[in-house]
Amino acid sequence: MKRILPGILAMATIVVASNILVQFLILDGLLTWGAFTYPFAFLVTDVMNRVYGVAAARKVILVGFVTGIACSLIGTQITMQGDGYTYQAVAMRVAVASATGFLIAQLVDVAIFNRLREGAWWRAPLASTLVGSALDTALFFTLAFSQSVIVFGADADAEISWAWDVVPFLTIGPDAPLWVSLAVADWGVKLALALIALLPFRVIVSRLLARVV
């Protein structure tokens, strides 16, 4: 456990930071600052997988999952004020979607990485991150905001009904539900960071492997 402690701390830090930064909107509300920190969770998972193996990566994911649940539960108890009404910092439906997306996407990332680990050094982290982050985006935004998901009940729907507003896609395209624009913008950030993260992945893995040897 001691050898993967840096990975555990890094994952917990990213999850906590992302849960805080998601409250701060940018680009007319299309993105939050949390969108720029959360994707690095895949970098941590991939580094742990490459250096210490699948079991270690899954332990780090479990820590991130538990940390995320704790942050979400705290958020559901925090009341915010805005435009003459009160609301929870984290709606329960959003909390469930976040935990589900994180866990499934991260485990898929590990499985894909492990399958491709014998190929070129960049193939496994790039492919696993692209697939995992796409899955995370699809699961989170669909479960959190789609009108087609009705299992959470009317009260939960009321908390996120703002995401159903029909607006120009990414502020410039044809009309579409707001949550669709949010999902595409989020995926765009994840795509860019998946490419950028290849360099730190290479550097960090090289240094950790040198210590292991």
Q: What is the token pair recorded at 142?
A: 């669909």
Distance, in Å, from the CA atom of 154 to the CA atom of 19, rounded to the nearest integer, reads: 25
Domain CATH number, residue 130: 1.10.1760.20
According to the model, what pLDDT value does residue 4 have? Answer: 95
**Whole-model pTM above 0.75?**
yes
User: Is 153 a residue whose pLDDT tops 90?
Assistant: no
Model pLDDT for residues 7-23, shown as the tens digit of each residue: 999 999 999 999 999 99
Q: What is the mean pLDDT of the chain?
A: 93
User: Is 80 a residue whose pLDDT tops 70?
Assistant: no
User: Is 158 a residue whose pLDDT tops 90?
Assistant: no
Q: In this structure, are residues 39 and 190 in contact, taking their beta carbons and an 8 Å threshold? A: yes
Q: How distant is the alpha carbon of residue 96 from its chain centre?
A: 13
pLDDT band at 41 (very low <50, low <70, confident <90, very high): very high
Residues 6+ apart with CB under 8 A from 37: 14, 17, 18, 21
- Please give the radius of gyration of the chain, using alpha carbons only, rounded to the nearest integer: 18
Average of per-residue pLDDT across 145-159 = 85
Q: Which amino acid is at 185?
A: A
Average of per-residue pLDDT across 128-132 = 98
Residues 6+ apart with CB under 8 A from 31: 25, 182, 185, 186, 189
Domain, as residue range, for 37: 2-212
Q: In this structure, are residues 193 and 200 in contact, taking their beta carbons and an 8 Å threshold? A: no
Q: Pick the range with the lowest mean pLDDT from 70-84, 88-102, 108-122, 140-154.
A: 70-84
The domain total for the chain is 1
